[in-house]
Amino acid sequence: MHLETQQQNTRSEIRAILKVSENTLWRDINETLSYALAIAEMPTIKALMTKDGKAGLGSPAPEQLTGFLSTLIKHYPRYTKLMLIDNQGVEVLRIPGDTPSDPRLARRDHANTDYFKSASELFARDLYISPPGRNLQYEIFSGEVIPVVNVATPVFDDQGERQGMVLLSLNWQHLTEAVHQAAQMEPTAGVILTDAQGRWLLTERNQQLPPMSFGDDYAQLTDESWQHITGLDKGVLTQENRLLRFQRMDMRRQTHQGLAGHIFSQDDTLPWVLGVSLPNPTWKSLLQDDASVVWFLLLIYSTAVALGIYWAFSSHQQRLLRHQAQQRAIEVSNLYESAPCGYHSLNADGVIIKMNQTELDWLGLTRDAVGYRCYRDFISSDSLLDFDQAFQEVKAGRQGEAECKLVATDGEQRQVVIQSVGYLEQDRFIYSNASVFDITDRKHLEEKLRAQAMTDPLTGVFNRRYLQAQASVEISRASRHQTPISLIAIDIDHFKQINDDYGHDAGDEVLKRFADEIKGLLRQEDLLCRVGGEEFAVLLPNTTLEEAWQVAERIRATVEKAHVSIEHDDTPATITITASFGVTHVASNEKTLKAAIKRADNGLYEAKDTGRNRIVIRKL
């Protein structure tokens, strides 16, 4: 009975370690895929890849974009580099910029790599993951040679045209480090990770297993055991004096976060095999560990003979109850630690007295922080008031809820909702129990939708709705500070004829080029909006009527010199454009732009009627 109990405990412990290892690996992979998709969806990435109608090294990346991507790579050690690659396989951008290129890539041309060929055939939100150890399998990172895995996803513009791809190179050593840490739950545990062919995928050696290095043939080393593993999706087998539990991990069938589409890789390397082994208890090991246990068991058996059948049934029932309790304890612990939301408990001073692994990972903490760190230290300054008010409600015995911003030890911020209740004894607060829900993705989606609602999708400038909303703000500011504010109405000349002669695609190119030319001539505080088909408006804060005329003249002269190159009936063609302008001043007593827009439009119509390509000023 004692031996069987030890063996049951060993099986339960293996299952727990295997589950934690699997959850940790999937979590890191899911986060990586979500980041790759998020970068591919960034408007600045799409703008860079479609600049001047084509991607390539000739289109320099904005400093703000390169700064953001450099910060991402710098603060996330799971990444070694990030690249943008156009439809011909040529690099557009590499972060960090000093990352050495593989000598097999002439002029950084990726056209013949597995990730470029595969990702070039994917749809939006699909991803391709190169197998560990295949194609550019090693890089120098922080002075150390490490294996990498490439994750590629295509980039599509707003019209659904493929413009290239995003490539993230993962530090495979860092990604699999969590698997080793999970195995450290038990010093005698050994962990294996191989691809479908039996190639070893771990970078750190395990003292409990035969010495293996990354890329070694584990299948050949354990030929008989490997044949048993290849026939099952999961199972348990005995290797010499150790018990091994294994299961297959196929990312192509895994449910991923971040609204990912399909996951692709080289089929002969998937699924991976993840396994955990522990020493299998035997009579010999029990004797070696504790001889007193054997004497105690002999005494129990002697007593059992005297007590008879009653004791036998009672002992059997206790064994079943103990086994059930162990199973439920493990299940509850796994649910608590690996829940998709955070859980924590605080004492009256706000010190963390309990926290699950999910929230510890969010905050970048270890178990050592429990009992010492104050939870309030991880609340952003602009959220402290809401948190303190909710915590006071909880200490008073009422339910508290607050929407806060958590700041991890590495500076990463996460928008959350905290729902908490207090435990009181004789009206005295003892501790609080709180559930923490991550709403960061929802907040980002809300901001994205809000921005899309205020932006013209074709030209990327603001739309009429945003002009009306922002105008009231600028008019109020001008009234408070007694500063002038002006408005320019602009209309492209003969735009209908352009559409009729060359088609609407050519018309769209003219609109985009027209907007780009104007944006380059305005200040940061100036507001350019597309208010109709070929009609634009420019709101100029702190600008007199004379200065507004100068701005309009600068735009008119620049547009007149611009040429738009297109393909018409498979023949190159060049379109020249001009525009007419109406300029007016917004009066101090006007609360909206309605009257100013009418005056500017009247000036615009007069400019049209008197020959076009000119400016007409309409005063109050």
Q: What is the pLDDT of residues 487-507, one digit of tens each?
A: 999 999 999 999 988 888 899
pLDDT category of residue 72 using cuts at 50, 70 and 90: confident
Residue appearing with tokens 């003219």: 510
pLDDT category of residue 59 using cuts at 50, 70 and 90: low
Please report the pLDDT score of residue 203 as a whole number.
76
Six-digit token string for 120: 């070039």
Selection from 467, 493, 433 nearest residue 586 by Cα: 467
Please report the pLDDT score of residue 132 as a whole number.
79
pLDDT exceeds cutoff 80 at 285: no
pLDDT exceeds cutoff 80 at 166: yes
Please report the pLDDT score of residue 53 as a whole number.
39
Which range among 216-230, 254-268, 288-302, 333-347 has the greatest average pLDDT?
333-347
Per-residue model confidence as pLDDT tens digits over 506-526: 999 999 999 999 998 999 999
Six-digit token string for 65: 């974009």
> Phi, psi (5° rounding) for residue 54?
-160, 155
d(Cα 282, Cα 288) in Å, to the nearest integer? 10
10 Å CB burial of residue 572 (0-12, 13-18, 19+) is: exposed
What is the average per-residue pLDDT within 257-284? 76
Six-digit token string for 162: 């493929």
* Percent of residues in the chain assigned helix, strand, coil, to nearest 5: 45, 25, 30
pLDDT category of residue 8 using cuts at 50, 70 and 90: confident
Please report the pLDDT score of residue 289 as a whole number.
61
d(Cα 564, Cα 517) in Å, to the nearest integer? 11
Please report the pLDDT score of residue 144 as a whole number.
66
Selection from 115, 129, 122 nearest residue 155 by Cα: 122
User: CB count, 10 Å around CB of 609?
Assistant: 10
pLDDT category of residue 291 using cuts at 50, 70 and 90: low
Looking at per-residue confidence, does 182 or 426 come out higher?
426
Please report the pLDDT score of residue 119 as a whole number.
87
10 Å CB burial of residue 524 (0-12, 13-18, 19+) is: exposed
Least confident segment among 72-76, 337-341, 393-397, 538-542: 72-76
Please report the pLDDT score of residue 189 as a whole number.
79
Per-residue model confidence as pLDDT tens digits over 566-615: 887 778 888 989 999 999 999 888 888 889 999 999 999 999 999 999 99
Selection from 594, 339, 385, 355 nearest residue 475 by Cα: 594
d(Cα 581, Cα 603) in Å, to the nearest integer? 7
**Calculated CA dihedral for residues 77, 80, 84, 86, nearest 10 degrees:** -150
Cross-strand pairs, 168: 82, 151
Per-residue model confidence as pLDDT tens digits over 401-427: 999 999 999 989 999 999 999 888 888
Average pLDDT over all residues of the chain? 83
Please report the pLDDT score of residue 107 as a whole number.
54
Query: Are the CB atoms for 60 and 222 separated by under 8 Å?
Result: no
Six-digit token string for 325: 């309790």
pTM (two decimals): 0.44
10 Å CB burial of residue 612 (0-12, 13-18, 19+) is: middle
Query: Are the CB atoms for 160 and 175 separated by under 8 Å?
Result: no
What is the average per-residue pLDDT within 200-218? 74
Six-digit token string for 12: 């339960």
In this prediction, what percent of the chain has a pLDDT beyond 70?
88
> Phi, psi (5° rounding) for residue 598?
-65, -45
Residue appearing with tokens 């294994």: 246
For 20, 361, 376, 378, 405, the CA distances from 351, given in Å and listed in that order, are 27, 18, 8, 11, 18
Query: Are the CB atoms for 515 and 492 separated by under 8 Å?
Result: no
For 362, 387, 442, the CA distances from 370, given in Å and listed in that order, are 14, 20, 29
pLDDT exceeds cutoff 70 at 297: no
Query: Are the CB atoms for 254 and 216 separated by under 8 Å?
Result: no
pLDDT exceeds cutoff 80 at 181: no
Please report the pLDDT score of residue 56 as a whole number.
44
d(Cα 53, Cα 49) in Å, to the nearest integer? 8
DSSP state for residue 52 in the 8-state scheme: G
Six-digit token string for 204: 């750190």
Q: Catalytic amino acids?
A: 534
Per-residue model confidence as pLDDT tens digits over 428-453: 998 999 999 998 888 887 777 776 67
pLDDT category of residue 28 using cuts at 50, 70 and 90: confident
Looking at per-residue confidence, does 298 or 27 come out higher?
27
Rounded to a whole number of angstroms, the CA Rg of the chain reads 33
In this prediction, what percent of the chain has a pLDDT beyond 90?
25
10 Å CB burial of residue 503 (0-12, 13-18, 19+) is: middle
pLDDT exceeds cutoff 50 at 136: no
Per-residue model confidence as pLDDT tens digits over 457-473: 888 889 888 888 888 88
Please report the pLDDT score of residue 127 as a whole number.
87
The answer to whether the bond into 271 is cis (omega within 30° of 0) is yes
What is the average per-residue pLDDT within 339-356? 90
Cross-strand pairs, 275: 192, 246
Query: Are the CB atoms for 294 and 287 separated by under 8 Å?
Result: yes
pLDDT exceeds cutoff 50 at 163: yes
Cross-strand pairs, 583: 488, 617
What is the average per-residue pLDDT within 465-489? 90
What is the average per-residue pLDDT within 189-207? 78
d(Cα 615, Cα 150) in Å, to the nearest integer? 55
Category of 232 on φ-ψ map: left (φ > 0), alpha (ψ -120 to 50) or beta: beta
**Which residues, 6 or more positions from 372, have their beta carbon under 8 angstroms from its beta carbon?**
351, 352
* Count helices and strands in the chain by DSSP H and E runs: 19, 24
